[in-house]
Amino acid sequence: MSSAARVSLRRTPNGKKTDYVARQYLGSVGRIDNGIVTVNAYGVYKNITFPLSVKIYKPIGTLKESDKYKTKIELATEIIA
């Protein structure tokens, strides 16, 4: 259920980093690297796969004040509940 998107830690023009980028295991590259991890649910209809829901996993070290830490399992449970 989890996949990853590789994202650069390049600074944006206003000097900020991309939110929730962290050094973590990225399944898409098969190793630990900088990136964003998502938890996804997909639907299949007549051999066509399409995303139903996507939630960003927010590692503890990247949380903003308004964010609450949730594990990948908790995010997956929210999607299917």
| 7-22 pLDDT per residue, tens | 444 445 555 678 898 9
Q: How many domains does the chain divide into?
A: 1
CA 67 to chain centre: 14
10-19, 22-31, 56-65: which range is least confident on average? 10-19
Q: What whole-number distance in Å separates Cα of residue 81 and Cα of residue 6? A: 28
4 close to 29: Cβ distance less than 8 angstroms: yes
Range of the domain at 55: 2-80
Task: Tell me what pLDDT residue 79 has.
Answer: 94
CA dihedral 14, 35, 52, 74 (to 10 degrees): -110
Secondary structure of residue 60 in the 3-state scheme: helix
pLDDT at residue 63 above 70? Answer: yes
Task: Tell me what pLDDT residue 39 has.
Answer: 94
Task: Tell me what pLDDT residue 81 has.
Answer: 86
Q: What whole-number distance in Å separates Cα of residue 34 and Cα of residue 18? A: 11
